[in-house]
Amino acid sequence: MIPALTVQQMRKCDRRAIVDMGVPSLLLMERAGWGIAQLVDELIIAEQSLLGGKILLLCGPGNNGGDGLVVARHLVAQGVTVEAALFAPREKLSPDCAHNLRMAEHFGVPITMVESTTKCRSIFKNVTLVVDALFGTGGHAGLTGLYARASKIVADTALPVVAVDTPSGFSLEESSAGERAIVADFTVTLGLPKVGQLSPRFYEYSGELFWHELAYPPPAIEGQNPSAFVVEELDISQLLPKRELCAHKGNYGRLLIVAGSPGMVGAAVMAAEGALRCGAGLVKVAMPASLEAQARGLLMEAMTIPLPDEEGNFHPQAYKQLSEHLRWADVVAVGPGLGTSTGAQAMVSHLLSKRLPLVIDADGLNLLAELGEYRLPLNSVLTPHPGEMSRLIGASIDQIESKRRERAGELAQKSGAVVVLKGYGSIIAEPDGEAFINPTGGPALASGGSGDVLTGAIASFIGQGYPPLEAAVLGAYLHGLAGYVAGRELGEVSAIAGDVLDFLPEVIRMMEEGDFYSCPPPLFGLGPRPIYGRATMDFMLDGELDYMNYLRRDPGKSP
């Protein structure tokens, strides 16, 4: 797991490393600039359209601008044509920024002081790539003055952009960008990922997100008591044990799925198949009797249970016939395609009164909101998307999206359940306050039925004996990875939930075997490490800092 810090925690980490532990701030800045320069150099090599032009570095007055000046110096040393545009007079620069300005000048970096709109326009001549080092994580929402002017020119010219730490004009604390902000194609977060950088809103401005370590002493990081973590592929690999040769279906859990209503049989089927693909030993699907034959024709490996219905929905007394099956089950998934009929409401209310772990999704969540009952049986999981979360906690979608980690934690504490707040960078929150950020997924998952597959996957892992947090982390990561592969292989427009099911076996195999080289992003390893996006490049070995990570990926390598 990679710790993810708030902006305030990252600042405290900086202070502790510099003041208490004697790490020179200029060393951290040097490491930051060197790593970003490697990324820019790789981009130039990979994209022939960037050759022959100029790399423009937009540098602000603070340490973000200092990072940009270090990038410029290293690129000049590699023979790259650059220009550093400084948007502040010398006397207003931070000490470290001023130091690196002097060094850049000694190394022959062309420096332009941007003091007018005319000068701002002139710096963009013959530019092929922009490095945004104006403000980073310390900036406010929106840019003004010459900063806004530079941002508009970048947007109008559609130049590719690499942002240092955070695109300027995007506030991580407010999760907003105001009227004007830099929109980057690549962002390199420095030190550690920040919680606000792992949200759908940030991704609209960041492009592909990379993580570049800066040699912080471990106690500087541990002292911040991070409450959020990014899941890595190694975590998933270690969570998936090999099966015993003498294992049988009874070893891997008995899952009962309560789902289905007129026109929504497919939701129940997708949940069942998601559970089976993730290793469930036995699966039963309870649904209205008039729909059961249709589901039985689609399900070869799962059992079906016809329950009394009323016009295709569960009869208000249907739950009374579940007793035998509830005694059989290890876990119950409820909600996919369930509808919100009186019978469905009675079913959810009945399940809440039992002690079996529940995985609740879709209409199950909507009925939970109607019932106003939030304390769930032990080891349960809720999987809302922002709209369902809005109904559950009475907050607007905007309020939820701007504080995803906090809102997920609020519902987890209120319900006593693990909460998976879906969306790009899904938040997995547990009642004690810790949160885990899932970096896999993509547009291919924006298709009906994909959430039902996730419900089945999580319930499957609970049935196999995983604690609810581990089950949710496993289910979300593998589901997102399968969605990414489906989009890559079939196209993000054409991939559907059934394709996610088809690719689940392949991504599970890769995780079991530790086959990270053939695994699509997010890959962690060489140089700045992709966290999310559509990254496909391999990067140069980042010195001694990444040596252990390099070896763990390929023990046959040496630095």
Is residue 142 within 8 Å of 180, Cβ to Cβ? yes
Listed residues 490, 513, 536: the one ending a domain: 513
Q: Is residue 378 domain-shared with residue 507, that is, in the same domain?
A: yes
Question: What confidence score (pLDDT) does residue 519 get?
Answer: 44
* Domain count of the fold of the chain: 2
Judge whether 441 and 424 are in contact, CB under 8 Å. yes
Residue 427 lies in a domain: yes
Q: Sign (positive/negative) of CA torsion 65, 70, 74, 79?
A: positive
CATH number at residue 258: 3.40.1190.20
Gap between the Cα atoms of 256 and 282, Å rounded: 9
Closest Cα to residue 481, out of 202, 237, 196, 283? 237
- Does 48 fall in a domain? yes
Please check whether residues 34 and 116 belong to one and the same domain.
yes
Question: Is the same domain home to 248 and 144?
Answer: no
Is 497 a member of any domain? yes
Task: Let me know whether 389 and 435 are in one domain.
Answer: yes
326 lies in some domain: yes
| 204 in a structural domain | yes
The domain boundary, picked from 496, 513, 530, lies at 513
Asked whether residue 78 is assigned to any structural domain, the reply reads yes
Distance CA(261)–CA(291), nearest Å, equals 8
Residues 414, 482 within the same domain: yes
Q: What is the pLDDT of residue 516?
A: 56
User: Which residue range(s) make up the domain with 64?
Assistant: 28-168+177-211
Q: Decide which of 474, 494, 513 is a domain's last residue.
A: 513
Angle at 93 between CA 91 and CA 95, to 5 degrees: 105
Q: What does the alpha-carbon distance between residue 161 and residue 66 come to, in Å, rounded to a whole number?
A: 18
Indicate which CATH number applies to the domain containing 42.
3.40.50.10260
Peptide bond just before 522 cis, omega within 30 deg: yes
Q: Is residue 13 part of a domain?
A: no
Q: Which of 185, 220, 235 is nearest to 1 (CA)?
A: 235
CB 356 within 8 A of CB 326: yes
Token pair belonging to 475: 């289910």
Judgement on whether residues 204 and 276 belong to the same structural domain of the protein: no
Phi and psi angles of residue 521, each rounded to the nearest 5 degrees, phi first: -60, 155
Q: Are residues 239 and 204 in the same domain?
A: no
Question: How many CA atoms does the CB half-sphere of 184 hold within 13 Å?
Answer: 31
The residues with which 211 forms a beta bridge, in sequence order, are 189, 529
Q: What 3-state class would DSSP assign to 131?
A: strand
State the residue for tokens 């013959």: 126
Tell me if 421 sits within 8 A of 407, measured CB to CB: yes
Residues 273 and 202 reside in one and the same domain: no
List the pLDDT tens digit at each of the 559 positions of the chain.
888 898 999 999 999 999 999 999 999 999 999 999 988 988 887 776 777 789 999 999 999 999 999 999 999 998 999 999 999 999 999 999 999 999 999 999 999 999 999 999 999 999 999 999 999 887 888 999 999 999 999 999 999 999 999 999 999 888 888 889 999 999 999 988 898 888 888 888 998 888 888 878 888 888 788 888 999 888 999 998 788 888 889 889 999 999 999 999 999 999 999 999 999 999 999 999 999 999 999 999 999 999 999 999 999 999 999 999 999 999 999 999 999 999 999 999 999 999 999 999 999 999 999 999 888 999 999 999 999 999 999 999 999 988 899 999 999 999 999 999 999 889 999 999 899 999 888 889 999 999 999 999 999 999 999 999 999 999 999 999 999 899 989 999 999 999 999 999 999 998 888 765 444 433 233 344 555 443 322 222 232 223 223 223 333 333 2
Task: Identify whether residues 377 and 435 lie together within a single domain.
Answer: yes
Q: What is residue 402's predicted lDDT score, i.e. its pLDDT?
A: 84
Assess if residue 520 is contained within a domain. Answer: no
pLDDT at 529: 53
Same domain as 198, residue 259: no
Residue 242 sits in the same domain as residue 189? no
Q: What is the helix (H) or strand (E) element at residue 303, kind and residue range?
A: strand 303-307
Residues 296 and 397 in one domain: yes
